[in-house]
Amino acid sequence: MRSRSHRTTWRWLLEKEMRELASSRAYWLLLVVVGALVGHAFITSVNLYAEASGIGGGPSALAQGLSPLEGIVVPTLGAYDIAATLLFPFVVIRLIALEKQTGELALTLQGPAPFGATIAAKAIALFFAWIIAGLAGAGAMIRWHELGGHLYAPEVFTVVLGHLLRGVLTIGVSAAAASLAASAASAAIIALTVTLGTWALDYVAAARGGVLSAIAEYTPSAALRVFEHGELRVATVLIMLTLGIGGLAIAAVWLDEGQRTGVRVARLAGVVVTVGVMCALFGRMRATRDVSEDRRNSFPRADELALRDIRQPLRVTVYLAAEDPRLTDLERGVLAKLRRTMRSVSVSYAANSRSGLFERPNDHYGEVWYDLGGKREMTRSTTEPIVLETIYRLAGRPAPAAADESPYPGYPLAAHVTLAPWVFFVFWPAIVLAAWWWARRTRVRRLQIVGE
């Protein structure tokens, strides 16, 4: 009986939030704009891909370099990053702020459900709305497949997962902003400030490295890039979820206006500390999976087996400045893969300056030192084969024989986009507008009141 009552309560809460969402012009506008953004990105990507594939008899790139992941999937679905940054926060803020502005909050607080359930219902409705917005991207992927384009399901699903988690993060941050701010306008300013703050963090971290760099791995843009590179990193998934749910918890705590301010502040601090501790713990998790078809995040299989067999910890000391492009090469091409593969890898960044332009000769600038099993060796190379050779030498073992791995074939496709402009710039907006009209139609008509 009790569970049935809970189900009924949930059903009403969810229906209410879905209806509020359907009443929001901001959401319908988001749908129209997302369709246009996805359409533009898709058409541009397909055209560029076709050019690289030698459309019209022009010179083509090497087939191995033509990956639908970075040629089509990432740029097309990248439209959702823009939407999550600049459009979706307003939809979220409206749904939360409306509750405060209309005075509905006083009634909600007296409802039979715990207030957290109301926030959860809002979050579920918003997540569903984000999925609906994803239909435009799904349409683009289907169209690419129809054109004869190749799609590697694990890659696509990983990128989609990244955008779903990006949506969760936006819901959490915007809900927290809407609950803390006095008005929707102030909430929008807070949400945009957070976004700008993460961009600034990305920029500063790229220049300084160190702890900031570790934190900046989880800014929305950086976290999304992990998925876009075809990597499924457990730490990134858990931290994005934690931050999103943490934002919702902040909203649930702060909007509970029946509690004294001191109690709410204490609970808020509790949420912030808990989220911080959980993120710190999750950040230590190394579980990761390379789901890219071309295994861009991994060493060759034979090397992976050999490296996993090395039990001593590897310590790397890098004398390269954060702004030095060689450090970027080393990070992406070697260190990230080493961290994924070896049991224990620690890296220290020892360069004194940010640019590396004015280092003194005795500063060791440009050197990368590898310590393993009490032996130490230096190389200035940042390329994978040289570094692996160095590590094998330190470990006292020969480099493994190259396994017979079939190389990534690449998927060139010189396709013409003809139907897509109609789909994304005509049919999609028409469907959205028709749905909006249908959603409003059922309740806008007011009966004539006799005698009034």
Partner 1 sequence: MALPQPVPRAEAGAGAGPSAIIRVENLSKRFGSFWALRGASFSVRPGEILGLIGPNGSGKTTLFQCFAGVTPSTLGTVSIDDRAVEPHERKRHLYFVPDGIQPWPDQSVDWVLRFVAGLHGATAAAHVEVVELLGLGPLLRARLGELSKGEHRRVLLAVGLLTPQPLLMLDEPFDGLDLRQTRDVMEVLRHHAAKRRTLFLSIHQLGDAARICDRFVLLSGGYVAGEGTLAELRAKAGVSDGGLEEVFLALT
Out of 3, 362, 418, 448, which residue is the one contacting partner 1 (CB under 8 A)? 448
Backbone phi, then psi, for 328, in 5-degree steps?
A: -60, -45
Using CA atoms, how far apart are residues 375 and 170, in angstroms rounded to an integer? 48
Tokens 């799609």: give the residue: 151
Tokens 């909050």: give the residue: 105
Q: In this structure, are residues 52 and 412 in contact, taking their beta carbons and an 8 Å threshold?
A: yes
Out of 48, 107, 281, 378, which residue is the one contacting partner 1 (CB under 8 A)? 107
Instruction: Please report whether residue 3 would count as binding partner 1 according to CB under 8 A.
Output: no
Residues comprising the chain, all counted: 452
Q: Output the smallest distance, CB 282 to partner 1, in A.
A: 32
Structure tokens, 218:
């989880």
Instruction: Please report whether residue 1 would count as binding partner 1 according to CB under 8 A.
Output: no
Residue 22 or residue 61: which is nearer to partner 1 going by CB? 22
Residue 404 or residue 452: which is nearer to partner 1 going by CB? 452
Instruction: Give the footprint of partner 1 on residues 111-150 (CB under 8 A).
Output: 111-113
Using CA atoms, how far apart are residues 85 and 94, in angstroms rounded to an integer? 15
Instruction: Please report whether residue 183 would count as binding partner 1 according to CB under 8 A.
Output: no
Residue 15 or residue 146: which is nearer to partner 1 going by CB? 15
Distance of CA 88 to the CA centre of its chain: 14
Backbone phi, then psi, for 376, in 5-degree steps?
A: -140, 140
- Which range binds partner 1 by CB under 8 A, 13-21, 144-152, 157-165, 368-376? 13-21
Out of 44, 64, 102, 274, which residue is the one contacting partner 1 (CB under 8 A)? 102
Residue window 232-271: x/- pattern of binding to partner 1, with contact defined by CB under 8 A: -------------------------xxxxx-x--------
- On the 0-12 / 13-18 / 19+ scale of CB atoms within 10 A, 59 is exposed
| Helical packing angle, 115-133 and 2-22, nearest 10° | 50
**Beta-carbon count within 10 A of 216 CB:** 21
Task: Tell me the number of residues near partner 1 by CB under 8 A.
Answer: 37
Out of 1, 211, 401, 444, which residue is the one contacting partner 1 (CB under 8 A)? 444
Binding site for partner 1 (CB under 8 A): 5, 8-9, 11-13, 15-16, 19-20, 23, 102-104, 106-107, 109-113, 257-261, 263, 442-450, 452
